[in-house]
Amino acid sequence: MNTATEVFGSMVFSDSVMRARLPKDVFQQVQRSIKDGKRLDSSAASVVANAMKDWAIEKGATHFSHWFQPMTGITAEKHDSFISPVEGGRVIMEFSGKELIQGEPDASSFPSGGLRASFEARGYTAWDPTSYAFIKDNVLCIPTAFCSYGGEALDKKTPLLRSMQAINREGTRLIKLFGNTDVSSIKTTVGAEQEYFLIDKNLYEKRKDLMYTGRTLFGACPPKGQELDDHYFGTIKPRVQAFMKELDQELWKLGVLAKTEHNEAAPAQHELAPFFTTTNIAADHNQLTMELMQKIARKHDMVCLLHEKPFAGFNGSGKHNNWSITTNTGVNLLEPGETPSENAQFLLFLCAVIQAADDYQDMLRICVASASNDCRLGGNEAPPAIISIFIGDELEAILKAIETEEPYGSKEKELIKVGVHVLPKFPKDSTDRNRTSPLAFTGNKFEFRMLGSSASISGANVVLNTAVAESLRQYADYLEAADNFEEALHDLIKSVIKKHKRILFNGNGYDDAWVKEAAERGLSNYPTTADCVPHYLDKKNIELFERHKVYTETEIRARYEIKLDNYCKMLRIEALTMLNMSGKDILPAVSKYSKVLADAALAKRSLNLDIDTDFETGQVAKLSTLISKVAAETGILDHAVKVADDLSNTQEKAEYYRDKILPAMAKLRSFVDELEINTGADYWPYPSYGDLLFSVN
């Protein structure tokens, strides 16, 4: 087996496998439970479990695992073997319906943000039949949600599924008003483009910063950077090519729609784009993609870096979250369509996203916030930390014409009446390619570009789904009560544009002028995680998630705690790593190099040459000054970490990290990087940026 079509999905317990292996009535029960989210009864579950086990064993599996996504952002699994002892010292292979439906991992070591303090400590995992079971490394993996016995979601999947229900509920109400009687449900779809770096494993292992924190904390810029733009879409090097080939094969086996692989802007940076799919499946698939990237890179003696900013001065990595809404009849609701009615429907859903982004700017910022993504957002390759929407000049002009009731069109100007007129055509290409926009409409979907490369896509899609569900709810309330649908619709769209147009921005988001203009427009700007996360607890945000049954207030508080706590912990590890590197490796190495120089200077002097100054003496003096500065900054950083450790309030601690520790880290780094430039390559204790970025061939 090696053609893509043969390999694809071969390790997935998919619909076609189920149809072939399950009795017809059980297959239908599973389909119903996928559709309505109802639990399978226990006798059907036993039949499914047995069929799954037989299939898995034929494929070489020996264990099963409930596969879930705790709030750490990575996936968790605990393997149990299928064996069960029988008389005569033998074993048989067993897997029961109960084991399929529910598991009880020890929840106590996963972050719960205080949920465990107030509730039952134990958690359980519950099968999510909407995402297929699959085999990975001889383990049958069963995608599950992870909850406490009190019912609180302890994971990233449960809220995502709830947010999909919310947008389905409100969107279906609305779509019916447009006379689409054939539509029974809507869902969101996502294609998550994944950026990453590949570096040589031997070099990686020589860098404590990469090993402990995923990014370089020191490193002087090499003579060549990315200024020649010669890497983007460039020829893929053989080692990378071999990695990508194996990655594609393995992802295809798991039914992941890996589609495009190419080089990115920075040296050693690459991207994988999958074909889009249902949001919760896209989330599972992205987790698998990240996991396999790391595993397969190792097999090729490389390491895959998923950190948002592994190298200062080079582009960071993001995860463009392409998001759209589609009906069960296959209509993309963010596609303009051809008829007045389709156009009107499109405009209303477009408005729903515009309003959602404006009303919940803070939540869109929060859902991408982390210490690592803070290194990237606002840098001039990544979108700024200010939320705005790019819809392209043509579409913006159309919205303006509707709002102001001014005629639109360059030649034959006409008034646009929503629901009556066909929208003037706007070229799809012109709606794309504003790379600086955090949320860009790209013709038939929105591309949310703030998400970091290492993050789970769940949090961002929970916010997109729920915030848009809220716009849709308001529109459905209003339109259901209207006497004249067409009139009401026109007025509604007009008023939404008027109220929320401040969030539309087609200009250059990297420009300083935008920061000023955004402030004048009243848009929020939260540069760091410490700045935005407190707004999680704003009344309007708690109301949003409670109203749509996505998070309870307790669940939001837990997530707020975890985000802040994680921010402080990450930065603490970084600070300690810097202290360790500077104290244990860098200062001793430079001191050694200085001694060699000083000895050489002395030796020269003993020759009584007729020179006043020599390179060695000058260099020793320079290194001496720098070493003192590094030692002093190391002391300051060390002290600051101790002060932070004594702070008990997490918000205060996060602010202290932002205001005191990050600047101290930056200062220490600047002196160390200068030392690196001035120290002989043989003496510097770490591989340089040049080695790391240009060595994979």
Which residues are at the interface with Mg ion (CB under 5 A)? 320
Q: For the residues of 527-579, what is the DSSP string, one character each?
A: -SHHHHGGGGG-HHHHHHHHHTTS--HHHHHHHHHHHHHHHHHHHHHHHHHHH
From the list ligand ADP, Mg ion, none, which binds 308 (C-beta under 5 to 8 Å, kind-based)? Answer: none
Instruction: Build a one-symbol-per-residue string for 438-457: x at contacts with ligand ADP by CB under 6 A, - elsewhere.
Output: ----x-xx------------
**Smallest distance, ligand ADP to C-beta of residue 420, A:** 27
Q: What CA–CA distance (Å, rounded) separates 504 from 502? A: 5
The closest of 415, 207, 190 to 323, measured between CA atoms, is 190
Our CB check for ligand ADP shows the closer of 103 and 274 to be 274
**Smallest distance, ligand ADP to C-beta of residue 193, A:** 6
Could you identify the residue written with the tokens 């987790």?
A: 287
**Smallest distance, ligand ADP to C-beta of residue 444, A:** 6
From the list Mg ion, ligand ADP, none, which binds 508 (C-beta under 5 to 8 Å, kind-based)? Answer: none
Tokens of 78: 């605990």
From the list Mg ion, ligand ADP, none, which binds 678 (C-beta under 5 to 8 Å, kind-based)? Answer: none
**Smallest distance, Mg ion to C-beta of residue 358, A:** 23
User: Is residue 279 near ligand ADP by the rule CB under 6 A?
Assistant: no
**Smallest distance, ligand ADP to C-beta of residue 659, A:** 38
The 3-state secondary structure of 197-222 reads EEEEHHHHCCCHHHHHHCCCCCCCCC
Q: Determine contact, residues 189/282, Cβ cutoff 8 Å.
A: yes
Our CB check for ligand ADP shows the closer of 273 and 439 to be 273
Tokens of 248: 């594609």
Residues that bind ligand ADP (rule: CB under 6 A) add up to a total of 15
**Smallest distance, ligand ADP to C-beta of residue 171, A:** 14
Our CB check for ligand ADP shows the closer of 113 and 274 to be 274
User: Is residue 278 near ligand ADP by the rule CB under 6 A?
Assistant: no
User: Is residue 275 near ligand ADP by the rule CB under 6 A?
Assistant: yes
User: Is residue 276 near ligand ADP by the rule CB under 6 A?
Assistant: yes
The closest of 570, 577, 569 to 672, measured between CA atoms, is 577
| Binding residues among 522-561 for ligand ADP as defined by CB under 6 A | none
Q: What CA–CA distance (Å, rounded) separates 132 from 127? A: 10
Tokens of 184: 């029974």
From the list ligand ADP, Mg ion, none, which binds 324 (C-beta under 5 to 8 Å, kind-based)? Answer: ligand ADP
Of 94-102, 267-275, 296-304, 359-367, the window that binds ligand ADP (rule: CB under 6 A) is: 267-275
State the burial class of residue 552 (Cβ atoms within 10 Å of its Cβ: 0-12, 13-18, 19+): middle
| Binding residues among 159-178 for ligand ADP as defined by CB under 6 A | none
What number of CA atoms fall less than 13 Å from residue 377's CA on the CB side?
Answer: 29
Our CB check for Mg ion shows the closer of 448 and 684 to be 448
| Binding residues among 310-339 for ligand ADP as defined by CB under 6 A | 322-324, 332
Our CB check for ligand ADP shows the closer of 191 and 509 to be 191
From the list ligand ADP, Mg ion, none, which binds 273 (C-beta under 5 to 8 Å, kind-based)? Answer: ligand ADP
Residue nearest to ligand ADP (CB): 191
Position among 142, 273, 401, 644 found at the interface with ligand ADP (CB under 6 A) = 273
**Smallest distance, ligand ADP to C-beta of residue 334, A:** 7
Residue nearest to Mg ion (CB): 320
Give φ, ψ of 633 to 5 degrees: -65, -35
**Smallest distance, ligand ADP to C-beta of residue 272, A:** 10
Our CB check for ligand ADP shows the closer of 273 and 493 to be 273
Tokens of 410: 């360059």
Q: What CA–CA distance (Å, rounded) separates 470 from 477? A: 11
Of 25-33, 89-97, 269-277, 531-539, the window that binds ligand ADP (rule: CB under 6 A) is: 269-277
**Smallest distance, ligand ADP to C-beta of residue 283, A:** 13
Of 66-74, 79-87, 188-196, 558-566, the window that binds ligand ADP (rule: CB under 6 A) is: 188-196
DSSP conformation class of 438: S
Residues whose CB falls within 8 Å of the CB of residue 559, separated by 6 or more in sequence, listed in order: 71, 113, 536, 551
Position among 190, 503, 590, 672 found at the interface with ligand ADP (CB under 6 A) = 190
User: Is residue 191 near ligand ADP by the rule CB under 6 A?
Assistant: yes
465-496 core/surface letters (b: 16 or more CB in 10 A; e: else): bbbbbbbbbbbbeebeeeeeeeebbbebbbeb
Q: What CA–CA distance (Å, rounded) separates 631 from 41? A: 67
User: Is residue 351 near ligand ADP by the rule CB under 6 A?
Assistant: no
Our CB check for ligand ADP shows the closer of 94 and 261 to be 261
User: Is residue 274 near ligand ADP by the rule CB under 6 A?
Assistant: yes
Tokens of 498: 């008027």
- Cβ neighbour number for residue 58 with a 10 Å cutoff: 8
Q: What is the pairing mode between strands 389-390 and 439-441?
A: parallel
Tokens of 398: 């159309």
What stretches of 387-457 show up as alpha helix (H) in DSSP?
393-404
Of 22-30, 124-132, 273-281, 304-312, the window that binds ligand ADP (rule: CB under 6 A) is: 273-281
What does the angle CA 101 – CA 105 – CA 110 come to, to the nearest 5 degrees? 130
Our CB check for ligand ADP shows the closer of 219 and 336 to be 336
Task: Determine the 3-state secondary structure of 411 from DSSP.
Answer: coil
**Smallest distance, Mg ion to C-beta of residue 484, A:** 41
Q: What CA–CA distance (Å, rounded) separates 589 from 578? A: 15
Q: Determine contact, residues 556/109, Cβ cutoff 8 Å.
A: no
Our CB check for ligand ADP shows the closer of 159 and 443 to be 443
**Smallest distance, Mg ion to C-beta of residue 21, A:** 38
User: Is residue 460 near ligand ADP by the rule CB under 6 A?
Assistant: no
Binding stretches for ligand ADP (CB under 6 A)? 189-191, 193, 273-276, 322-324, 332, 442, 444-445
